[in-house]
């Protein structure tokens, strides 16, 4: 395995190179770069298996670099000091990222995960760029790792999501059921909270997919696919307020 590191700060490059050497003996070549223009030329001519990539750099930022390297045939881990809103973009695109300052255990997990997976789809980078350009806007596409591989799904087509331990099931309007390695809390944070509502600890629903509300202690909802789901008693008042606005 061959790795490359691109960061305009030399001490960050040195740290990442040291960590790769310490924890991943299968990486036999590490190429360090601090100049993004020089790095693009070198990576075009001789692509690595893994690229650790900073975002904020002079001349070309991380997104500019990748745009010049498409289509990509190597794995990428972003190394960023971005705030939580920008990090959300990485989560939408299902791409790996590390926040500065680097946590060693998170670094090990991210690199191990990257090395065990296929290179990402160009679609993921397009989605990352779209979300980043929209700033705080909630996009309507989401990259999800499922049992069948990576899926780019239209969030408007989600009817509801159901918790299953550390996994979740996503039920689509097409009838497709997707099992993903994200918790329901993860999905709740990513989806538009004006449209999706956590009406029970195990259920997150698209409010626009609800066809009926059945009264009761908490009550139940009937969805467009005829699924009936309970509303937690503690969520009833908030649910009725939110449902009335849809």
Encode pLDDT of 128-166 as tens digits: 877 777 655 677 888 888 777 788 999 999 999 999 888
Is the domain of 102 the same as that of 181?
A: no
Is the domain of 97 the same as that of 162?
A: no
Domain of 160 in residue numbering reads as 144-245
Residue 159 domain-assigned (yes or no) = yes
Is the domain of 208 the same as that of 187?
A: yes
Beta bridge partners of 5: 32, 52
- Write the pLDDT tens digit of every residue in 204-222: 999 999 999 999 888 999 9
The whole-number average pLDDT for the span 70-90 is 81
Residue 139 domain-assigned (yes or no) = no
d(CA 152, CA 167): 18
Residue 138 domain-assigned (yes or no) = no
Cis before residue 101, ω within 30 degrees of 0?
A: yes
Predicted confidence at residue 190, as pLDDT, reads 86
Q: End of a domain among 84, 100, 133?
A: 133
Q: Is residue 170 within 8 Å of 154, Cβ to Cβ?
A: no
Is the domain of 11 the same as that of 102?
A: yes
Q: How far is CA 90 from CA 80, 95, 180, 215, in A?
A: 11, 5, 17, 40
Q: End of a domain among 104, 133, 162?
A: 133
Residue 191 domain-assigned (yes or no) = yes
Is the domain of 172 the same as that of 119?
A: no
Predicted confidence at residue 5, as pLDDT, reads 98
């Amino acid at each position: 395995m061959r790795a490359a590191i691109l960061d305009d700060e030399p001490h960050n490059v040195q740290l990442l190179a040291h960590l790769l050497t310490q924890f991943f003996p299968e990486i036999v070549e590490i190429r360090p770069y601090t100049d993004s223009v020089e790095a693009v030329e070198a990576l075009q001519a001789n692509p690595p298996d893994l690229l650790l990539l900073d975002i904020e750099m002079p001349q070309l930022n991380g997104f500019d670099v990748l745009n010049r390297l498409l289509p990509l045939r190597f794995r990428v881990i972003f190394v960023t000091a971005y705030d939580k809103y920008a990090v959300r973009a990485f989560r939408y695109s299902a791409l790996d990222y590390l926040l500065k300052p680097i946590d060693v255990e998170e670094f090990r997990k991210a690199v191990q995960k990257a090395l065990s997976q296929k290179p990402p789809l160009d679609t993921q980078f397009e989605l990352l760029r779209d979300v980043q350009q929209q700033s705080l806007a909630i996009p309507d596409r989401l990259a999800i790792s499922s049992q069948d591989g990576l899926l780019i799904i239209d969030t408007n087509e989600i009817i509801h999501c159901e918790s299953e331990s550390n996994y979740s099931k996503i039920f689509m309007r097409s009838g497709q059921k997707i099992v993903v390695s994200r918790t329901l809390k993860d999905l709740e944070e990513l989806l538009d909270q004006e449209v999706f509502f956590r009406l029970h600890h195990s259920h997150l629903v698209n409010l626009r997919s609800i066809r009926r509300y059945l009264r009761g202690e908490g009550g139940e909802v009937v969805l467009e696919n005829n699924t009936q789901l309970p509303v937690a008693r503690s969520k009833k008042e908030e649910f009725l307020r939110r449902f009335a606005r849809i």
